[in-house]
């Protein structure tokens, strides 16, 4: 690579995509003649226009884009229909392409009995980052949805305990995996340090966890009871309820 080309590439890191690139969708429409996938074909037959696009990536990974308003209905059908039976949620995450474009929510599904995998995506506008929770379909989505909420700001309607899972509940700098999140955070190093030092142990636990820890601590014999001499940590020998 020439020095000029290398410099141009470095400049592009700061400037980002050109205006024409920024206005593009995240992925081009799928080309005709894709290899068939039984679940995609069945989704098109049952849900019609709610199936927006089908594409193939990495050689053999089928990706289907669906209407965000019908995510719960369509994923529930994929899980329960005997012909498809996607009984394992492998992963749930988000993709932010930056530059003010839409954000994708991604569900990676696997059918153990049928030995099939399928990636389902829904595209959300940045001013309406909400989609239905699949907690009652796959309990594995519990912490995955909390992580997507914490890191990307997506609200999962119907989740029973939607709160931050990696950052403190009172973290005020936003969502760290969004492309508009500054590399060093939104606050100065001094302010970040001040806030970190001001946090209490209770800031890292929910009220329910604190009640459980307190009840367990009260039931312990001395010297492990909270507040007694020789107690080990904030909640006796329990070390918190983490």
Per-residue pLDDT tens over the stretch 200-240: 766 667 777 778 888 887 665 555 444 444 333 433 333 43
Q: Is the pLDDT of residue 104 over 90?
A: yes
For residue 38, the 8-state DSSP code is H
Q: For 157-192, what is each residue's pLDDT tens digit? A: 999 999 999 987 877 778 899 988 777 766 677 766
In a domain, 7, yes or no: no
Q: How far is CA 185 from CA 75, 171, 178, 188, in A?
A: 36, 11, 11, 8
The domain tally of the chain equals: 2
DSSP helix/strand/coil, 217:
helix
Q: Within this chain, do residues 42 and 151 fall inside the same structural domain, yes or no?
A: yes
Rounded to a whole number of angstroms, the CA Rg of the chain reads 23
Q: Within this chain, do residues 50 and 162 fall inside the same structural domain, yes or no?
A: yes
For strands 155-157 and 61-66, give the pairing.
unpaired
pLDDT for the residue numbered 208: 79
Q: Within this chain, do residues 139 and 80 fall inside the same structural domain, yes or no?
A: yes
For residue 23, the 8-state DSSP code is T
Q: Within this chain, do residues 158 and 147 fall inside the same structural domain, yes or no?
A: yes
Q: Domain end: 199, 214, 230, which one?
A: 199
pLDDT for the residue numbered 155: 97
**Boundaries of domain holding 85:** 37-199
The two tokens of residue 2 are: 């020439």
In a domain, 100, yes or no: yes
Angle between helix axes 38-47 and 71-80 (nearest 10 degrees) is 130
Cα–Cα distance between 103 and 91 in angstroms, integer? 17
pLDDT for the residue numbered 60: 85
Q: Within this chain, do residues 232 and 173 fall inside the same structural domain, yes or no?
A: no
The predicted model gives 9-23 an average pLDDT of 48
Q: Within this chain, do residues 132 and 170 fall inside the same structural domain, yes or no?
A: yes
């Amino acid at each position: 690579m020439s020095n000029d080309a290398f410099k141009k590439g470095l400049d592009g890191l700061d400037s980002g995509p050109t205006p024409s690139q920024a206005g593009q969708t995240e992925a081009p429409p799928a080309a005709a003649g894709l290899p068939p996938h039984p679940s995609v074909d069945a989704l098109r037959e049952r849900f019609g226009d709610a199936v927006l696009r089908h594409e193939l990536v990495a050689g053999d990974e089928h990706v289907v884009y669906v209407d965000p308003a019908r995510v719960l209905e369509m994923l529930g059908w994929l899980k329960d229909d005997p012909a498809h039976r996607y009984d394992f949620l492998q992963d749930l995450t988000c993709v932010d392409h930056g530059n003010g474009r839409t954000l994708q929510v991604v569900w990676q599904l696997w059918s153990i009995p049928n030995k099939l995998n399928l990636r389902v995506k829904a595209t959300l506008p940045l001013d309406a980052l909400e989609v239905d929770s699949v907690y009652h379909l796959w309990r594995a989505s519990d912490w995955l949805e909390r992580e997507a909420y914490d890191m990307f700001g997506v609200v999962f309607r119907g989740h029973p305990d939607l709160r931050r899972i990696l950052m403190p509940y009172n973290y005020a700098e936003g969502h760290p995996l969004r492309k508009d999140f500054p590399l060093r955070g939104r606050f100065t190093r001094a302010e970040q340090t001040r806030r970190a030092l001001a946090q209490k142990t209770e800031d890292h636990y929910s009220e329910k966890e604190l009640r459980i820890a307190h009840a367990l601590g009260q039931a312990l014999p001395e010297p492990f009871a909270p507040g007694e001499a020789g107690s080990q940590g904030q909640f006796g020998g329990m070390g918190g309820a983490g």
